[in-house]
Structure 1
Amino acid sequence: MGKKLILLLTVGVLASYYVYTPLPDNIEEPWKLTWMVTVSKTVTYLNRFSEFLGTNRFVNIAALFLKVQEVPPTSDENVTVTDTTFNNIPVRVYVPKRRSGALKRGLFFIHGGGWFSGSVAMSSHDFLSRETAERLDAVVVSTSYRKAPKHHFPIQFEDVYNSLKWFLRQDILENYGVDPERIGVSGSSSGGNLAAAVTQQLSEDPSVKIKLKTQALIYPALQPLDMDLPSYRENAHFPTLHKSDVVKSWSNYFTTDKSLEKAMLLGQHVPAESSHLFKFVNWSSLLPEKFKKGHIYNRPIHGSSDLAKKYPGLLDVRAAPLLADDTQLRGLPRTYVVTCQYDILRDDGIMYVTRLQNAGVQVTHNHVDDGFHGAFLLLDFKISYRIINHYIDWLRENL
């Protein structure tokens, strides 16, 4: 009896240690987050173990896990949902059934997933697009794109850009009853990266006559040059997104060559001849004081030029929208940016807010003090609906 009790206590202690996740005091519904993190952690360990055994690549297994969350295109009494293609890129289109004499708003949505996972069919993305279409009486186009590790930059960017340009054709807009003067782009995380990048490209593309009215970026990843920002230091091990995950995603966006990932982890991936680019991501001048919190800016370490030559996307503005110069930023539309306090990508978004404001762009910054990466679409959490409601309210007023 005594041995069984000791064994039971030992298992209980180990289980408690495994489940325990230290969280800030102001996190809402901490037990829900703890449980979600535990499940995610378990899947991650199984993924890495299988990768160690050589049975599959980590990113492919993660994508398979997310695939079970997909739902078919199902219309309801308020919205017609169809899967189709725009310029050979799969998209899911949500058209509200409400009859009105006026043309509708149009919103082009780009999902996240680190450029390697996620899809328009995921239940959370489907819910957001359906909710946006119904509440705004807007036609929502949720676009797919090819994924890493099979496809690397600029494939993801080009897929999204080509799909967006197709949507902006006059005949397509007329077919869906969309007002060409009320079209916006939005995206979350790596989708926010793609949203920012295609918005910049579109503003300078003379072949596209119809321009965007708004862009909405939800905790976007905007640069891979400096991974020593205050938000990286403070949230490197926050359970919903670790620094190692961010580095892996950025590296896989460009290549499967592990040498780039190692160099990025060490901060030795930007060559000396490209050091001038750091002025665009210098947090010591771009972050408000309350986000610096006494952190000391470290001068970047320069790496070999070989990696940058081998993978030029690393320093390409289409991959890193924060590298756009002020002239390019001045032509951008009205912007909405969500950042979360406990998000490693927080300072990317805040620096972009500062740079856009300095360039004269009208920006609304919604900083969520108790937010964390992923909170936007964790539909079991109250915080998700708070962020979604603020996002839709902004679109209602500005799109």
Structure 2
Amino acid sequence: MAILLALLGAPCLLFLGVGLWVIGSHFFTVDIPVAIGHPVKLWVLNCGFRLLVAWGLILEKLRICSMPQFIQFVQDLLPFSKDPDVVVTDLRYGTVPVKLYQPRRTSRRLRPGILLFHGGGTILGSFRLYHKICCCLCKESDSVVLIIGYRLAPQHRFPSAVRDCLVATIHFLKSLDMYGVDPARVVVCGDSVGGGAAVTVCQKCMARSDLPKIRAQILVYATLQVLDYQLPSFQQNKNVPLLSLDFAFLCMHYYLDISPQWKSAILKGAHLPAHLWEKYRKWLSPENIPERFKKTSYPPVARAPLNEAAYLETDLLLDLLHSPMLAEDEVVSRLPEACIVSCEYDLLRDNSLLYKKRLEDLGVPVTWHHMEDGFHGVLNTFGMGCFQVPCATRILKAMVQFIEGL
């Protein structure tokens, strides 16, 4: 009997211990600015997320499953509520699963089409996590929404995710008549790494004469480059949930298969030779960021000398499929107009600011919304009941208004 109690008690003690460790470390390592507006909600959400990550890493050490697989499993347990005003259809474009959202009411005219690429650092994200967001976009903008279930790391590494997005986009663009979509109003949309995929898809599709032209791009705190980690937002918001600098590197490790041992070299800028830093300086320089975003905790850092081994083993960071902001001016200048949403307390904030300036300098129209109380991942609180924050609703409203104006 004592042995049985011990066997039952050990997992309980382990679970309790991990929970206490996560909560305790949360107080000392996480930065939740009061200006966010709902710090308690974010604190609870981040504690839950970090607990999942901690348990996932334990299971990974035990070789039961990887950390991302564990969180993917938990995501798939989320409830999937039906919306009476939206018709949802599960489809498959070749081997790529997609989910189609169409307004139930009929329309005499063709509707806009929205291709949605979800975020999650290429290791997280699911149909269930984005279901209510898709329903809202579908109803409020009277659009046909297609969300792509691209393959996730670490089971499928770079460039599987962006290839799946491109395959699904091409299939959708060739099937617009089937879904009642106006070929002159097709929009690509994505948050976080999904925003980067949206830009990459635009770059790949714009030169194809056999496809309808993409009308616009909607980018919500998008991942547009993974090269420079010395930008102001990377220093100011490195410990702000839900995307810390450590977790960003963890995602990069799983997807790009870059060893964690190069983290220090990358942070110091030692992973690129001087001539490449000079090449990209005109696009990535902090000088292109408005001064008001540099006022807090931004000590400029001198780049370390080149680490040749780091350069050779991290060259995927230069790939345009993962860093579309590095594309040449000739490519970027031909992109469609953009709606860019940035958040003040976001590790990736400066990606949006730099991309906005670059598009404007090249004559591409930009609609910009900056959420002063926003943080990375805030959009995913939409539909989460008591954990939903007003910022998520404002972002969706901005997206809908942009689509209606096309």
Match of 1:128 among 133, 152, 157: 133
Match of 2:67 among 58, 75, 85: 58
**Aligned residue identity for 2:284:** N
- 2: distance between equivalents of 1:71 and 1:15? 29
Aligned residue for 1:240?
242
- Quick one: structure 1 residues 22 and 321, their matched pair in 2 at CA, closer, same or farther if it must change by over 3 Å? closer
**Aligned residue identity for 2:218:** A
Deviates more, 1:193-202 or 1:290-299: 290-299
The SS at the match of 1:26 is: helix
Q: Does 2:108 align with 1:113?
A: no
- 2: distance between equivalents of 1:189 and 1:112? 5
- TM-score norm. by structure 1 comes to 0.87
- 2: distance between equivalents of 1:297 and 1:196? 29
Q: Does 2:197 align with 1:194?
A: yes
Aligned residue for 2:57?
48
Q: Cα deviations across residues 306-329 of structure 1 (Å, max 9, x unaligned)?
A: 555555432111210110122211
**Aligned residue identity for 2:38:** E
**Aligned residue identity for 1:250:** M
Deviates more, 1:254-263 or 1:37-46: 254-263
- 2: distance between equivalents of 1:287 and 1:222? 15
Structure 2 residues not aligned, in runs of 5+: 1-19, 383-387
Q: Does 2:301 align with 1:292?
A: no
- 1: distance between equivalents of 2:245 and 2:269? 12
- 1: distance between equivalents of 2:169 and 2:305? 37
- 1: distance between equivalents of 2:282 and 2:115? 27
- TM-score norm. by structure 2 comes to 0.86
Aligned residue for 1:80?
87
The SS at the match of 2:35 is: coil
Structure 1 residues not aligned, in runs of 5+: 1-12
- Quick one: structure 1 residues 330 and 71, their matched pair in 2 at CA, closer, same or farther if it must change by over 3 Å? same
Give RMSD over aligned pairs.
2.4
- Quick one: structure 1 residues 338 and 268, their matched pair in 2 at CA, closer, same or farther if it must change by over 3 Å? same
- Quick one: structure 1 residues 141 and 318, their matched pair in 2 at CA, closer, same or farther if it must change by over 3 Å? same
Give the aligned length. Answer: 379
Match of 1:370 among 359, 369, 373: 373
Aligned residue for 1:388?
396
- 2: distance between equivalents of 1:259 and 1:22? 25
Q: Cα deviations across residues 284-308 of structure 1 (Å, max 9, x unaligned)?
A: 2211111122735434335445555
How many angstroms does 1:377 deviate by? 1.8
Q: Does 2:105 align with 1:98?
A: yes
Q: Does 2:304 align with 1:301?
A: yes
**Aligned residue identity for 1:150:** Q
The SS at the match of 2:372 is: strand
- 1: distance between equivalents of 2:321 and 2:50? 32
- 2: distance between equivalents of 1:370 and 1:50? 35
The SS at the match of 1:211 is: coil
Aligned residue for 2:211?
209
CA contact (8 A) 2:371 2:391 kept: no
Q: Does 2:148 align with 1:143?
A: yes
How many angstroms does 1:341 deviate by? 0.6
- Quick one: structure 1 residues 260 and 16, their matched pair in 2 at CA, closer, same or farther if it must change by over 3 Å? closer
The SS at the match of 2:225 is: coil
How many angstroms does 1:385 deviate by? 1.2
Q: How does 1:152-163 map to 2 (within 5 A)?
A: 152-163=157-168
